[in-house]
Amino acid sequence: MTLNSFWFLLIAILWIGYFILEGFDFGVGILLRVLGKNEAERRTLLTTLGPIWDGNEVWLLVAGGATFAAFPEWYATLFSGFYLPLFLILLSLIIRGVAFEYRSKYGSPTWRNRWDFAISISSFIPALLWGVAFSNIVRGIPLHTSKLGNVEYAGGFFNLLNLYSLLGGVTTLFLFITHGAIFISLKTDGELRIKARFLAIRTGLVTAVLAVSYLLWTLIGLTHKSLVILGSLLIVITWIASLAFNFLGKEGWSFVFSSLTTALVVATLFEALYPNVLPSNNGSLGLNIFNASSSHYTLKVMTIVAVFMTPIVLLYQGWTYWIFRKRISPNQISDPHKGVLDHLHQ
pLDDT at residue 340, as a whole number: 38
> What are the extents of the domains in the chain?
3-140+160-330
Beta strands in the chain (DSSP E): 143-145, 151-153, 276-278, 287-288
Average pLDDT in the 24-37 region?
Answer: 94
Is 208 in contact with 238 (CB distance < 8 Å)?
Answer: no
The CA distance from 192 to 38, in Å, is 11
215-251: pLDDT as tens digits: 989 888 777 777 888 989 999 999 999 999 999 999 9
Write the CA distances from 133 to 17, 83, 121, 123, 200, integer angstroms: 17, 11, 18, 16, 25
Q: What is the CATH number of domain 3-140+160-330?
A: 1.20.1630.10
Report the share of the chain in percent with pLDDT over 90: 57
The angle, 0 to 180 degrees and rounded to 10, between the axes of the packed helices 226-247 and 251-273 is 170
Instruction: Please give the DSSP secondary-structure letter assigned to residue 231.
Output: H
Three-state DSSP at 51 gives coil
Average pLDDT in the 150-155 region?
Answer: 75
Write the CA distances from 201 to 8, 55, 257, integer angstroms: 35, 28, 14
pLDDT at residue 50, as a whole number: 83
pLDDT at residue 283, as a whole number: 67
Q: Inform me whether the pLDDT recorded for 147 exceeds 70.
A: no
309-343: pLDDT as tens digits: 888 888 988 888 888 888 887 777 665 544 433 43
- The four Cα atoms 8, 12, 14, 15 give a dihedral, to 10 degrees, of 140
The CA distance from 316 to 9, in Å, is 22
Beta strands in 106-264 (DSSP E): 143-145, 151-153
Is 328 in contact with 110 (CB distance < 8 Å)?
Answer: no
164-177: pLDDT as tens digits: 999 999 999 999 99
- The four Cα atoms 32, 37, 38, 39 give a dihedral, to 10 degrees, of 0
pLDDT at residue 334, as a whole number: 60
pLDDT at residue 93, as a whole number: 94
